[in-house]
Amino acid sequence: MSESLRQVRKRTFDRYKMESVQGGPTVTSTAITHYGEWNEDSRKVPALNFFEKYNDVVINGDFSGPFQDWFAPNAQFYFNNGTTLHSGAEIWEVMKSPALFGVYEKLVAKNKITTVIIGGHEKGHRLIHQQDMIFYPREGNLKEVGIPVRAIEFVSGPSEVEGQGTDGRQFHVGKTFWDTAVLTKELARRAAL
């Protein structure tokens, strides 16, 4: 005779009782959320001020400076397609490559919402940024029609090496919550029109 559903559930529950769960400390931290364009208020928050400067570099497509201005040597970057980059130098090369921003002529950022969680990570402050960022391809049909993407997360904190960074800060961790393959597929689709 087979077990009843109730017996299976009880056995499963017993196996995963709460006392077997490893607990940790509860951390209370402050969060600051900024809406819209950067301004004097956002510039008073070091993590937001640093991010504004980085955002300007990305929007202007100016990747001519060294990676150390923005990314720590040991920085990690996680794309939601499963790719992980394991150094600031590797991140910067991808940033400059045609595979990411290199093939886009201009970027327009709209509807920005940025939250900084103060003390939200062992290496610094977590910065969660959502916006409608519109990518415009350089060539092809419909090049004036943007491709919207959104949502990234960074951990910024003190520079890993003294004398590096911008205003003494660097990114230590980065994550995307949009798939860069969407951009590539959309460009291919438009090229076929």
Q: Over the stretch 36-79, which tens digit does the pLDDT of each residue have? A: 888 999 999 998 999 999 988 887 878 899 999 999 999 999 98
Long-range CB pairs of 93-102, under 8 A, 24+ apart, other chains included: 93/67, 95/58, 95/63, 96/63, 99/180, 99/184, 100/180, 101/58, 101/61, 101/63, 102/61
Is 5 within the bounds of a domain? no
CATH code for the domain in which residue 83 is found: 3.10.450.50
Rounded-to-integer distance, Cα 52 and Cα 46, Å: 10
Residue 145 is encoded by which pair of tokens? 């029609």
Is 79 within the bounds of a domain? yes
Residue 166 sits at φ, ψ, to 5 deg, of -120, 120
Could you report the per-residue pLDDT of 2-44, keeping only the tens digit for each?
566 566 556 555 555 545 556 667 767 788 888 888 899 999 9
Is 4 within the bounds of a domain? no
Residue 30 is encoded by which pair of tokens? 């402050």
Asked if 155 contacts 186 with a C-beta cutoff of 8 angstroms, the reply is no
Could you report the per-residue pLDDT of 134-187, keeping only the tens digit for each?
666 566 666 666 666 668 889 999 999 999 999 999 999 999 877 666 767 776
Residue 191's nearest CA partner among 146, 150, 139 is 139
Range of the domain at 176: 24-191
Is 11 within the bounds of a domain? no
Q: Give the model's pLDDT for residue 1.
A: 44
Cross-strand partners of 157? 170
Q: For the chain, what is the domain count?
A: 1
Is 8 within the bounds of a domain? no
Is 141 within the bounds of a domain? yes
Is 2 within the bounds of a domain? no
Is 16 within the bounds of a domain? no
Q: What is the pTM of this model?
A: 0.72
